[in-house]
Structure 1
Amino acid sequence: MQQAPERTAVIVDDDADVRNLLAAILQQAGFTCIITSNGPDGIEAIREHHPILTTLDVSMPGIDGFEVVRRIRSFSTTYVIMVSARDEEIDTLMGLDAGADDYLTKPFRPRELRARIEAVLRRFHQYEKPSEVSYSSSASGVATRAPVALATGGSPGPGLDETSDGWLDHNGLRIHPEMWQCELDGRPIDLTRSEFELLLALVEGRRRVISKKELALRLRGGPTGEYALDADRRAVEVHLANLRRKLSDPVNSPRFIETVRGVGYRLTHSLRT
């Protein structure tokens, strides 16, 4: 039997007090912490240790957090929580647009960070059996952690093909829930965990309209009855905008994702002839 993988987190922050607080909270949650004080060291730690979770400060000397997360996204799908004293909405949007999954402002309450960590772990356990986790690389070299089991809700509906090897196909877009891979017209598309999860939710939903609240709660890993904040809904909007850009899927003539105004999103019609 394979050993369960070590639950690792990387902390990137130039403030020693904040680093110690983050390490204490993460260690209580069962993480082994790799602590770094600047962007370049953080990038190398992520490359070496393949963490489940990374906390990242924004305002650091040299390379700021926005640039760090952009570089991280060239090779890693680690779940990135940006932790910053910059609390303007534009800063949050810039962080998410750069590739972060979540944004937490300083000073923060430890309870709030623990809640976000628990959401990450719920998602992690939803997709992976710890005794069977494996790492793989996409064709572009991005390291991905391959989830083992994910229910796809039964047989595919109209406009959605499921191949014998587990791929879900729609209009030239292919997504594999278990291998955590996505292809568009035969070429790999590198998605963050949040982008992949949103796309998978829409593909599995077929033509059902999925609200921003439902998508936000899926990203948080919480039950459907929970309350979704306005910030959670805005995060969904930013992640979907990034996803559409990667898929070259314009809002006014979508090939994959339709916006249903005032309601949410759904998969487009099939383009079969």
Structure 2
Amino acid sequence: MVVEDEASLAMLVASYLERDGFEVAIAGDGHDALNLARQFDPDVVVLDLGLPKLDGVEVCRALRTFSDAYVVMLTARAEEIDTVIGLSVGADDYQTKPFSPRELMARIQAMMRRPRARTGAPAGMARPREVRTFGDLSIDIDAREVAVGDATVSLTRTEFNVLAALSRDPSIVLTRTRLIAAVWGPSWVGDEHLVDVHIGHLRRKLGDDATVGRYVRTVRGVGYRMGTGLGLAQ
């Protein structure tokens, strides 16, 4: 779904998506975008920040209440605060105008290649379900479900992928570069600040304090790693 009030740009982006095999719906304002999303359940939403009636941030916030579509935010303003606000409501990536449609397609293709399920076991053999635990935090990799204690935590696809990457080998510290390669793909090009925004949003949802690092620890000057779930390791 392309949500853009500039008709010529919307048609241009749509034409590139269609060349890549997508079926495309176009909305010119925020209200129409939400109605379309409820009808068509898109896999990817290219969402302009500066929309009439309902801006892109509000559309993204509402979208996240019923959809886990990948969201790429388009903005004509390069100020960091716009990026932070957009990503904090669940956008997966952003693109600053003017932009190359081919670069946008490359980012979308990278997102769509993110692994969603592991390779199945040989026929006739049941594969044990993979659930990773850190104190009272449980991460069900196969079901893509996360819980803290008895409470289910609702994460976006990108937030879950960040947590899955960190928890794959909890003894390893992942730099921003390695996290971007694992979650956004090695071909992604952009500001590494993207990682910090998603880590911050993930911590808020998990009820994790950055100064304690029960679940996600900051290793100063290096990157991030999983905590024990019991507080800052000594």
Same fold at TM > 0.5: yes
Name the CA distance, whole Å, in 2 between partners of 1:118 and 1:59: 24
Distance change in 2, residues 1:91/1:270 (3 Å): closer
Q: TM (normalized to structure 2)?
A: 0.90
Name the CA distance, whole Å, in 1 between partners of 2:229 and 2:97: 46
Name the CA distance, whole Å, in 1 between partners of 2:189 and 2:3: 28
Within the alignment, does 1:246 sit opposite 2:205 as a pair?
yes
Match of 1:66 in 2: 57
Match of 1:266 in 2: 225
Q: Is the contact between residue 39 and residue 60 of structure 1 (CA under 8 Å) also seen in structure 2?
A: yes
Match of 2:166 in 1: 202
- The DSSP-based 3-state class of the residue aligned with 2:25 is strand
Structure 1 residue runs of 5 or longer lacking an equivalent are 1-9, 128-147, 152-163
Aligned length: 225
Match of 1:54 in 2: 45
Deviations 1:204-235 (A, max 9, x none): 1212111111011222222xxx6864x1x100
Within the alignment, does 1:122 sit opposite 2:91 as a pair?
no
Name the CA distance, whole Å, in 1 between partners of 2:24 and 2:200: 32
Q: Is the contact between residue 119 and residue 220 of structure 1 (CA under 8 Å) also seen in structure 2?
A: yes
Shift in Å, 1:48: 2.3
- The DSSP-based 3-state class of the residue aligned with 1:32 is coil
- Aligned amino acid, residue 261 of structure 1: R
Q: Is the contact between residue 47 and residue 74 of structure 2 (CA under 8 Å) also seen in structure 1?
A: yes
Name the CA distance, whole Å, in 1 between partners of 2:119 and 2:214: 25
- The DSSP-based 3-state class of the residue aligned with 1:33 is coil
- Aligned amino acid, residue 106 of structure 2: A
Name the CA distance, whole Å, in 2 between partners of 1:14 and 1:227: 26
Name the CA distance, whole Å, in 2 between partners of 1:258 and 1:31: 39
Shift in Å, 1:150: 5.8
Name the CA distance, whole Å, in 1 between partners of 2:174 and 2:227: 13
Name the CA distance, whole Å, in 2 between partners of 1:108 and 1:271: 45
Deviations 1:118-149 (A, max 9, x none): 211211xx32xxxxxxxxxxxxxxxxxxxx42
One of 158, 180, 187 as aligned partner of 1:216: 180
- The DSSP-based 3-state class of the residue aligned with 2:24 is strand
- Aligned amino acid, residue 213 of structure 2: P
One of 177, 181, 192 as aligned partner of 2:145: 181
Q: TM (normalized to structure 1)?
A: 0.77
Match of 1:38 in 2: 29
Match of 1:149 in 2: 118
Shift in Å, 1:64: 0.4
Name the CA distance, whole Å, in 2 between partners of 1:180 and 1:42: 27
Structure 2 residue runs of 5 or longer lacking an equivalent are 121-127
- Aligned amino acid, residue 249 of structure 1: D
Distance change in 2, residues 1:212/1:150 (3 Å): farther
Match of 1:143 in 2: none
Match of 1:91 in 2: 82
Q: Is the contact between residue 43 and residue 68 of structure 1 (CA under 8 Å) also seen in structure 2?
A: yes
Name the CA distance, whole Å, in 1 between partners of 2:69 and 2:188: 26
Shift in Å, 1:87: 1.7
Name the CA distance, whole Å, in 2 between partners of 1:216 and 1:94: 20
Shift in Å, 1:44: 2.1
